[in-house]
């Protein structure tokens, strides 16, 4: 039933009062803009929306942002380094649609399923925006009958989450995944994924980090040993997953009051999930009286023992930590799980102080052996293990780091500015530019017939262009130009015929 004009007018009055109150109390601009947008939407219902002369709010949707050239250059540099590591390990790229049939995504994410963005009926298909890149991979493998692949996939995903923009947490964001699909001997592929995470963070040089490791079967065995009913394993796992953000008393309270767990059972879980360490802890748990009679717990611990052995061989011993509080709430994990946390002193990140001495997770993943079988008509399983790099968090950390260090970022990759010392040389500029472009050299010039030489030189300095080709009549008559190094202001006459070679030599 449609609203009457009087009802809409009443809503406009209430919304207008709210906007005025927010402005009076100097609430954050983002919150005010959001409420103003709602007010304008109500006015639109009466045909009183923004006219050509009326001011309206221009903003990105909540949980999203625009990226300026400076930010895009940083992002591309980061992604190029990550892709180089993926390729070094044999990765092949794929892409999938930004939306999937809703039934493909339903039931794969546990409690996080409420964060999926549903779309309206599109020509008889009920669709949802992809929540991650892992479920689309499983659908892709099952649909195309692929049993073995090392794939990487970098693309945007969507979550109807509470955004925390200052911490690199958005509703639309990039994921950067590497997965190994296929039946292989235990922990060989799993340990390589841990190595890939370490290589990427070492390459990006954003600070010290620790890769936390655990095992889903060990968690299930631990729950069984503590007396958790089978039907509560997943919900208790989701509660444990909050220990990286909430203290144990809060998680314990959730287990008892919301999940219906007995206090004694919760206390037993608490004794385990507060443990962390290295191979010695694995040995200790293998001898634990409660766990050693639970087959899934023993299987998980033996896998962890082998994983730590392989990680030690690859020089990762000082980068990894066995942490029983790590749970990763997604339902599809079946084996090893891992999460990488960047360690840092509390500092300002995009204007917001980070808490607890870390900037949170920058990578995560694990083994999911049953997911592909959910899509295969014959239930054929394709074991998989993978990692997702939290590039948005990494972008935010690097932006803050560069700002704190006063590092000026370039927004393009121009290597040479072709400039004229006096009038009438614009056609010669174009001819030389064309030759440089044909040689693969990144070059540009001023879009003016007769620009001032000083303005051209200042442009090079402001945009960190390393070299300039300066044209003058006297040099051109001899078949030469001046090649200038912007930082040192050193100039040298160079034959036009040798110009490309001379530029390449100085660049490299």
Q: Which residues are annotated as a binding site for L-histidine?
A: 132-134, 159, 175, 179, 328, 332-333
| Whether 190 contacts 307, CB under 8 Å | yes
* Contact indicator for 365, 377 with CB cutoff of 8 Å: no
CA torsion sign for 145, 149, 151, 157 is positive
**Residue 439: closest CA among 462, 411, 469, 464:** 469
- Coil, helix or strand at residue 1: coil
Task: Could you list the beta-strand ranges (E) of 31-120.
Answer: 92-93, 99-101
Strand partners, 173: 157
What separation in angstroms does the CA of 362 have from each of 69, 118, 370, 374, 417?
A: 24, 27, 25, 29, 39
The closest alpha carbon to 252, from 183, 325, 361, belongs to: 325
| Contact partners, residue 53, CB within 8 Å, separation at least 6 | none
* Three-state secondary-structure class, residue 143: helix
CB atoms within 10 A of CB 399: 18
The helix/strand count (H/E) of the chain reads as: 17, 18
Binding-site positions: 132-134, 159, 175, 179, 328, 332-333
d(CA 74, CA 68): 10
Distance of CA 192 to the CA centre of its chain: 20
8 A C-beta contact, residue 331 and residue 108: yes
Euclidean distance between CA atoms 337 and 190, whole angstroms:
9
- Number of neighbouring beta carbons within 10 Å of residue 268: 18
- Proportion of the chain in helix, strand, coil states, percent, rounded to 5: 45, 20, 35
């Amino acid at each position: 039933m449609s609203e009457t004009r009087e009802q809409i007018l009443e809503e406009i009055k209430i919304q207008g009062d709210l906007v005025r109150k927010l402005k009076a109390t100097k609430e954050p601009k983002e919150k005010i803009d959001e409420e103003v947008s709602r007010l304008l939407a109500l006015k639109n219902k009466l045909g009183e929306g923004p006219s050509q002369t009326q001011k309206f709010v221009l903003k990105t949707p909540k949980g999203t942002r625009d990226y300026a050239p400076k930010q895009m250059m940083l992002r591309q540099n980061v992604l190029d380094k990550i892709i180089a590591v993926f390729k070094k390990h044999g990765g092949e790229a794929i892409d999938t649609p930004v939306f999937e049939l809703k039934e493909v995504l339903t039931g794969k994410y546990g409690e996080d399923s409420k964060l999926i963005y549903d779309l309206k009926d599109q020509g008889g298909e009920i669709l949802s925006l992809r929540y991650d890149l892992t479920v689309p991979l499983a659908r892709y493998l099952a649909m195309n009958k692929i049993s073995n692949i090392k794939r990487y996939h970098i693309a945007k995903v969507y979550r109807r989450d509470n955004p925390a923009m200052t911490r690199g947490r958005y509703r639309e964001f990039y994921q950067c995944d590497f997965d190994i699909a296929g039946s292989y001997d235990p922990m060989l592929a799993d340990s390589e994924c841990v190595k890939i995470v370490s290589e990427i963070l070492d390459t990006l040089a954003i600070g010290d980090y620790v890769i936390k490791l655990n095992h889903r079967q060990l968690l299930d065995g631990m729950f069984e040993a503590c007396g958790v009913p089978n039907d509560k394993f997943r919900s208790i796992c989701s509660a444990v997953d909050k220990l990286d953000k909430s203290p144990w008393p809060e998680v314990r309270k959730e287990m008892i009051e919301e999940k219906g767990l007995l206090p004694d059972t919760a206390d037993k879980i608490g004794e385990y999930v507060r443990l962390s360490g290295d191979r010695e802890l694995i040995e200790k748990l293998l001898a634990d009286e409660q766990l050693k009679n639970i087959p899934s717990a023993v299987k998980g611990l033996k896998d962890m023992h082998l994983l730590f052995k392989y990680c030690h061989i690859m020089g990762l011993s000082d980068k990894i930590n066995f942490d029983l509080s790590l749970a990763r709430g997604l339902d599809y994990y079946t084996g090893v799980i891992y999460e990488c946390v960047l360690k840092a002193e509390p500092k300002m990140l995009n204007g917001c102080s980070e808490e607890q001495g870390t900037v949170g997770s920058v990578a995560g993943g694990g083994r999911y052996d049953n997911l592909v079988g959910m899509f295969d008509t014959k239930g054929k399983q394709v074991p998989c293990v993978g990692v997702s790099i939290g590039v948005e968090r990494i972008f935010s950390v690097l932006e803050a780091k560069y700002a704190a260090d006063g590092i000026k970022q370039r927004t393009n990759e121009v290597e040479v500015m072709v400039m004229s010392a006096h009038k009438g040389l614009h056609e010669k500029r174009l001819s030389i530019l064309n030759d440089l472009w044909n040689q693969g050299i990144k070059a540009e010039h001023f879009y003016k017939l007769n620009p001032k030489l000083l303005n051209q030189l200042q442009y090079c300095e402001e945009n960190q262009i390393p070299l300039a080709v300066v044209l003058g009549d006297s040099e051109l008559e001899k078949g030469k130009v001046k090649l200038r190094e912007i930082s040192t202001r050193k100039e040298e006459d160079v034959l036009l015929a040798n110009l490309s070679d001379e530029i390449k030599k100085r660049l490299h």
